[in-house]
């Protein structure tokens, strides 16, 4: 070891000894008590600041692109109408990376298996709507298929699929209740869908009034007991598909991104539509919550059409 360096080491070890002997030093450290206290105060302040930053919602950008990653973006929107729920926020909230990629892939696979039931008869383009509860799959040009009444003995979904679906819905409920705090509970309601919007048939065109995804609409005007709407995107804008932007009528846009949870109050303040998908496939899980317990959909994977809600 070069002399100079040796000296430096020896010097610093004797310094350390001196510091340890000093009455101001904390046993086992080379820091004085005041310095240690200052460091602890700084560390606590950093944690407090960080959690304050995390607790503060971000403001939703006018166009939330796929590559932006928001932790909890909110736009405050005044309510356009009152509802049976009474006072509640009418905001729009987006949370990214809400579900881990493995669960997104599993939901994508459920959608793929469900949609396959209609594919033989359907034109590839347009929306395919899969109602996991009743088993109905609806696609343009195809007759209505019921997955649970199909002649084939092979059921499209198994126990693990249902378990995942139920668990996702349970977590969604907690998230919607946290995003839109109200005095009383919310109830998961029907219908709920996995939807595939396909751009693969260039000749397919949206037409009034049934292709409502592509038309301006208010969810509560279509289904009066909807209080809060939610969409969990299972595919990436510009990667998995083209077109397919979620657009509010005030011009703000949400680009779908895998794992992006898009929630909003279902009234006229949040009129929206989806622009036509022009290539690829766009997959979404859509769900709604009511505030009237009579519309609660308890055992929602019972294969029954949702003529009755509470089981």
Ligand X SMILES: O=C(O)CCC(=O)C(=O)O
Q: Which residue is nearest to ligand X (CB)?
A: 246
| Residue whose CB is less far from ligand X, 253 or 301 | 253
For position 231 contacting ligand X by CB under 6 A, the verdict is yes
Per partner kind, with CB cut-offs from 5 to 8 A, the member of Fe ion, ligand X, none near residue 246 is ligand X
Nearer to ligand X among residue 25 and residue 260 (C-beta) = 260
Tell me if 219 contacts Fe ion by CB under 5 A.
yes
Q: How far is the CB of 217 from Fe ion (least distance, A)?
A: 6
* Signed CA dihedral, 280, 100, 230, 252: sign only: negative
Q: Mask of contacts with ligand X, 280-299, x by CB under 6 A? A: ----x-x-------------
Catalytic residue check, 154: no
Least distance to ligand X, CB of residue 245, Å: 8
Catalytic option among 143, 273, 282, 310: 282
Report the nearest approach of ligand X to the CB of residue 241 (Å).
11
Distance CA 117, CA 121 (A): 9
> How far apart are CB 36 and ligand X at their closest, in Å?
54
Binding mask 249-278 for ligand X (x = CB under 6 A): -----------------------x-x----
Within 10 A of 223 (CB to CB), how many other CB atoms are there?
Answer: 16
- Please report, as residue ranges, which positions from 164 to 223 form the binding site for ligand X (by CB under 6 A): 213, 219
Residues in the chain: 311
| Min dist. Cβ of residue 193 to ligand X (A) | 7
Kindly state the number of chain residues that form the binding site for ligand X, as judged by CB under 6 A.
Answer: 8
Cα dist from 118 to 25, 113, 241, whole Å = 76, 10, 20
Residue reference for tokens 């736009």: 75
Residue 295, binding choice from ligand X, Fe ion, none, Cβ under 5 to 8 Å by partner class: none
CA-to-CA distance for 303 and 306, rounded, in angstroms? Answer: 9
CA-to-CA distance for 287 and 189, rounded, in angstroms?
A: 8
The partner in contact with residue 284, picked from ligand X, Fe ion, none with C-beta cut-offs of 5 to 8 angstroms by kind, is: ligand X
How far apart are alpha carbons 157 and 40 in whole angstroms? Answer: 54
231 binds, among Fe ion, ligand X, none (CB under 5 to 8 A by kind): ligand X
Query: Cα(241)–Cα(282) distance, rounded to whole angstroms?
Result: 6
**Do the Cβ atoms of 205 and 275 come closer than 8 Å?**
no
Judged by beta carbon, residue 147 or residue 186, the one nearer Fe ion is: 186
How far is Cα 11 from Cα 299, in angstroms, rounded to an integer? 75
Query: How do 228-233 and 253-254 pair as beta strands?
Result: unpaired
Cα-trace Rg, the chain:
27
CB nearer to ligand X: pick between 257 and 272? 272
Q: Which two tokens stand for residue 182?
A: 């109200």
> Which residues, 6 or more positions from 109, have their beta carbon under 8 angstroms from its beta carbon?
none
Q: Among ligand X, Fe ion, none, what does residue 146 contact (CB within 5–8 Å per kind)?
A: none
The contact set with Fe ion (CB under 5 A) reads 219
Which residues are designated catalytic? 282
The contact set with ligand X (CB under 6 A) reads 213, 219, 231, 246, 272, 274, 284, 286
């Amino acid at each position: 070891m070069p002399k100079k360096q040796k000296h430096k080491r020896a010097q610093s070890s004797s310094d350390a000894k001196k510091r340890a002997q000093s009455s101001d030093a904390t046993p086992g450290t080379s820091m004085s008590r005041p310095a240690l206290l200052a460091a602890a105060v700084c560390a606590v302040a950093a944690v407090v600041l960080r959690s304050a930053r995390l607790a503060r919602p971000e403001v939703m950008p006018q166009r939330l692109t796929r590559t932006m990653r928001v932790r909890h973006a909110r736009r405050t929107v005044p309510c356009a109408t009152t509802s049976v729920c009474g006072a509640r926020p009418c905001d729009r909230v987006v949370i990214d990376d809400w579900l881990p990629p493995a669960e997104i892939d599993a939901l994508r696979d459920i959608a793929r298996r469900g949609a396959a039931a209609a594919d033989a008869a359907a034109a590839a383009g347009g929306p395919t709507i899969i109602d996991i509860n009743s088993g109905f799959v609806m696609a343009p040009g195809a007759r209505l298929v019921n997955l649970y009444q199909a002649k084939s003995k092979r059921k499209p979904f198994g126990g693990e699929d249902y378990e995942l679906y139920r668990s996702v819905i349970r977590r969604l409920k907690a998230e919607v209740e946290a995003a839109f705090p109200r005095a009383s509970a919310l109830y998961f309601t029907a219908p709920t869908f996995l939807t595939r919007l396909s751009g693969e048939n260039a000749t397919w065109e949206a037409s009034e009034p049934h292709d409502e995804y592509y038309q301006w609409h208010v969810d509560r005007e279509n289904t009066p007991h909807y209080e809060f709407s939610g969409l969990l995107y299972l595919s990436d804008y510009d990667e998995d598909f083209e077109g397919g932007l979620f657009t509010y009528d005030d011009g703000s846009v949400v680009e779908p991104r895998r794992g992006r949870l898009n929630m909003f109050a279902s009234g006229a303040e949040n009129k929206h539509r989806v622009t036509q998908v022009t290539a690829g496939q766009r997959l979404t899980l859509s769900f709604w919550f009511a505030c009237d317990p009579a519309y609660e959909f308890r055992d929602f994977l019972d294969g029954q059409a949702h003529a009755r809600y509470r089981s």
